[in-house]
Structure 1
Amino acid sequence: MMDLEKHIKQKPSDFVVEEVIPFSPRKDGQFQLFLLKKSSLSTLQVVRFLSKLLKIKPSDIGFAGLKDRFAVTTQYITVPSDVNIPDKLCFINKGGKWLKAESIDFGREQGFCMERVGFTDQKLQLGDNSGNRFVIKIRNIHKEQRKIFYHNLEIVKKYGCANYFGEQRFGSVKGRNDFIFLYLLKGDVEKALKTYFSIKGSLKHWGNWELFYRDLRGNLEDYEKDLILGLKRGLSFEKAIRILPKNVRLMFNFAFQSFLWNEYLRRYIESKYPFKRVNFIHSWKLSFYIEVYDIEYLKNLEIPYTGREYSVNDKLFKEIIREIIDKFGIKEKDFGKEVAGIKVLTDGLRKAVFFPQDFKIVGKTKDSITVSFFLPAGSYATILLRNLLS
């Protein structure tokens, strides 16, 4: 079976992402608009550093999407106009220490540069981008796999690609069904926190907060240190978890809802079309159709997250959603409930398929292919590549 990790992101420069926004910068406005280029850093790592540097809250910094960490990415961020920032700012991260720099070698160094490109009257929010342009080098692609790639590319050009959520959505999930969110929903906040910190290191000294802090200190963000020190001071687990930034707590909910949505789509495809099954993370599977007899219907189909606010007219989908929600023990009272200070299991719509635009082969060697393409906001290049390489 195809292992995506051996084909992409061997170097950050193998995976280049450029965000596209649907408006032009203005000459003045309530928010400064910066173009942020980063390498081997997550968007949130940069946002947390900037909030400390500029002495503002992380929530004051707006961005339209979370970009890959192990990649070279360009995106836009907004900062209130009354915050004093140089026109250009570069920092390198060396061993956890941030060092100011004149410029950065994005192919070799971990760091970021941001440059003011204008102003806007609206703070950027998640989803405000039009989409992203990608240039990706696919390595270790032998003769037989190259044939598979070109065969699958013809299918994608004709029928699009199933619009699954990619692995970036599941950073808080350690095992197959080990969702932090489900522990929170059941009220077991201690188990939720144990699962969260197990991703950081050993739980050997759980409960002895001084030793636990010592064991994990080198791997912790500042807010995670604050949480453990809060437990040491006698905070309850229920109060301590709220020390995690809201966007981190929201990720627990998003990870579970994204998993459910992926399962809806996988089951739907397997019920209607000829398909191939592909390995995903945590031994999960994704299924991609290889032929579609109702493409006009499918390309316009939008799938709800819960079906509570947005009704489901497709009878097959309605049945699948009900079965999967029942399987995980989700009750009517859980929808829109407040858990750990966030509203969970809320509804929304997501397109069932996407069509990559301007897909081009821009480079070839004996064992690699470099491709460029544009994807609409919310669609994942890693999902497209899993489809093309399987």
Structure 2
Amino acid sequence: MKLRQKPEDFIVNEILEYKLVDYGNYSLYRLKKLGIENLAAISYISKNFKIPLNDIGYCGLKDRHAITTQYITIPNEYGRISLDEENLTLEYVGTIEKPLKIGELFGNSFEIVARNIDKNDFLKFAENIDTLKDGIPNYFDEQRFGSVFNGKFIIKEIINENYESAVKILLTNYTKSEKKSLKDLKRFIAKNWGNWDACIKYIEKKQITSKMFKNMIKSLKYENDFKKSFYYVDNRLKELFISAYQSYIWNECLKEILKEKLQKDDRKYIDYSCGTFLFYKNLEKDVFEDIAKIEFPTIAIDKEYEEFENRIINSVLKKERIKIADFKKITFGKLKYSKRPIISIPKNVEIGNFKSDELNIKKYKLNLKFTLNKGSYATMVVKKIFETF
């Protein structure tokens, strides 16, 4: 099975409940983008219209590799703006009283085309589609872990006081989707690690504009202190690093819960970049009713946990060889506490028929439509259908 062979194969529309007013203080805009990372789109709007980043409100991050529609707010003092570019449009909706904040969306609707399907698998996939009524484990998926390379979390390296390792991950590792100029810079830094003069000359020669890279390398040259150089990392990136490790721990906690609830024959493990997801193949009614009620907390400092929560969290942290108190070593940002349902149940599910796939010879495609509550990942639904058999 293949996803995202065409841009229109993965469409995400934000579901937002809002009330327009005649004289609101904030302008509400509909932002549509293709192939652009969420924060990059917001930064582009900020620079293009000279609006401070902190004045642009939004509810959540959207997948880069999709056609996505979401909402943002901008104070009226900046006037009415618009964009109509090939991969980025901004449309004025009206005025509202308060700015949008992270997490305020209701959910997201998805339209997905799964391709390259073998007809011998039709029955297996149809059976898995039928089990969507039992929900799916509500894991954080790969999109949350873009800062993790070779299983190493930058925040865990900092907790273990491996500051050089943390800085090296950031300055030398890259993803396929990054710009060539940035990939080349990171390759050069990796090859010349410790030769900061050479790295500075490269940055100047190639006219690299990133202030973060310039400041971090200069800090290493003049102070040779990896902990201090981390100070120059963009605050939004620091928050993403914290969120990535916090999300991984939550995933591992969910896996521990499912191990307690599921018979071994009902377990199905699927690999991902940070380890494995545990799915269920079959779910008895009483087990479903039990786990459907569970909302599990994210790990945070100085929070009171119930006995069951403490047991699960401590079990995971023991495997990680850390303690909750170790997170106090993080002197920037903070762990955001919330409770998250351990299963997600797709709603408004519409499944098309298997049709001939025009992009893959002798293969078939399948159209999927569904909505999910905020924070849940459509790719988990796809994994449930196409990988758990």
TM-score by length of 2: 0.85
Equivalents in 1 of 2:212, 2:111: separation in Å? 35
Specify the alignment match of 1:187 in structure 2. Answer: 161
**Residues 297 and 46 of structure 1, relative CA distance in 2, 3 Å threshold:** same
- Which residue of 50, 54, 61 maps to 1:66? 61
Is the CA contact 1:210–1:232 (under 8 Å) kept in the aligned structure 2?
Answer: no
1:377 counterpart residue number: 374
Deviations 1:5-31 (A, max 9, x none): x52111221100000112133333222
Partners in 2 of 1:219 and 1:358 — Cα distance? 50
Structure 2 letter corresponding to 1:295: F
CA contact 2:59–2:71 (8 Å) conserved in 1 = yes
Cα distance in 2 for partners of 1:193, 1:173 equals: 13
Distance 1:220 1:286 in 2: 39
2:377 is matched by which residue type in structure 1? Y
The alpha carbon displacement at 1:359 in A equals: 0.4
Contact 1:36–1:75 (8 Å) recurs in 2: yes
Query: Which residue of structure 2 aligns with residue 302 of structure 1?
Result: 295
1:195 alignment partner AA:
I
Q: Which residue number corresponds to residue 255 of structure 2?
A: 266
Say whether the 8 Å CA contact 1:278–1:286 is kept in structure 2.
yes
Are 1:135 and 1:372, in contact at CA under 8 Å, matched by a contact in 2?
yes
User: Could you tell me how far apart the structure 1 residues matched to 2:131 and 2:207 are?
Assistant: 44
Q: Give the structure 2 partner of residue 320 of structure 1.
A: 312
User: Which amino acid in structure 1 is aligned with residue 290 of structure 2?
Assistant: Y
Q: How does 1:140-151 map to 2 (within 5 A)?
A: 140-151=116-127
Query: 1:304, 1:348 within 8 Å by CA — same for their partners in 2?
Result: yes
Aligned counterparts, 1:62-211, within 5 A: 62-86=57-81, 88-91=82-85, 104=86, 111-157=87-133, 159-176=134-151, 178-200=152-174, 201-202=186-187, 203-211=190-198
Give distance in 2, aligned partners of 1:332 and 1:233.
34
**SS at 1:278 equivalent:** strand
The reply to whether residue 282 of structure 1 matches residue 273 of structure 2 is yes
Query: What SS does the corresponding residue of 2:43 show, helix, strand or coil?
Result: helix
1:351 to 318, 330, 341: 341
Assess if the C-alpha contact under 8 Å between 1:15 and 1:135 holds in 2. Answer: yes
Is 2:196–2:218's contact at 8 Å kept on the other side of the alignment? no
Other structure's SS at 1:193 match? helix
Aligned AA (2:84): C
Moved more, 134-143 or 358-367: 358-367
The structure-2 alpha-carbon separation of the partners of 1:204 and 1:332, relative to structure 1 and needing over 3 Å to count, comes to same
Q: Give distance in 2, aligned partners of 1:288 and 1:38.
A: 32
Structural mapping, 1:194-233, within 5 Å:
194-200=168-174, 201-202=186-187, 203-212=190-199, 222-228=210-216, 230-231=218-219
Identity of aligned residues (%): 29
Alignment RMSD (CA, Å): 2.5
CA deviations over 1:117-146 (Å, ceiling 9, x no partner): 112222222111000000000001112332
Aligned counterpart in structure 1 of residue 34 of structure 2, from 15, 39, 50? 39
Q: Please give the per-residue CA displacement for 1:192-213, whole angstroms capped at 9, x wherever unaligned.
A: 1111122233211223335335
The change in CA–CA distance for 1:77 and 1:144 in structure 2 (over 3 A counts) is: same
1:57 pairs with 42, 52, 59, which one?
Answer: 52
Residue 246, structure 1, aligned to residue 235, structure 2: yes
Structure 1 position 55, deviation (Å)? 2.3
Query: What corresponds to 2:351 in structure 1?
Result: 361
- 2:182 aligned partner: none
Q: 1:66-121: CA deviations, max 9, x gaps?
A: 100011000001112211342x2123xxxxxxxxxxxx3xxxxxx21011111222
Whole-angstrom CA distance in 2 between matches of 1:259 and 1:35: 31
Q: Which one has a larger percent helix, Structure 1 or Structure 2?
A: 2
Mark the CA change 1:70 to 1:33 in structure 2 (over 3 Å): closer, same or farther. same
Amino acid at match of 1:388: I
- Indicate if the aligned counterparts of 2:57 and 2:99 stay in contact, CA closer than 8 A: yes
Q: What's the secondary structure of 1:183's corresponding residue?
A: helix
- Structure 1 residues 164 and 252: alpha-carbon distance in aligned structure 2, compared to 1, 3 A threshold: same
Count of residue correspondences: 360
3-state SS in 2 of match to 1:280 = strand
Post-superposition offset of 1:310 = 4.9
Alignment-mate amino acid for residue 211 of structure 1: A
Rounded to whole Å, the distance in 2 between the matches of 1:328 and 1:113 is: 44
Q: 1:22 aligns with which of 14, 17, 24?
A: 17
The alpha-carbon deviation at position 244 of structure 1 amounts to 2.6
Q: What are the Cα deviations for residues 355-378 of structure 1, in whole angstroms up to 9, with x where unaligned?
A: 100000145413100111100000
> Is the contact between residue 277 and residue 285 of structure 1 (CA under 8 Å) also seen in structure 2?
no
Deviation at 1:351, TM superposition (A): 0.5
Give, in angstroms, the shift of residue 37 of structure 1.
Answer: 0.2
Alignment gaps of 5+ in structure 1: 1-5, 92-103, 105-110
Shift of the 232–189 alpha-carbon distance from structure 1 to 2, 3 Å rule, reads: closer
1:330 offset after TM fit, Å?
Answer: 2.2
Structure 2 CA distance, aligned partners of 1:127 and 1:133?
16
Contact 1:30 1:80 in 2 (8 A): yes
Q: CA deviation at 1:189?
A: 2.5
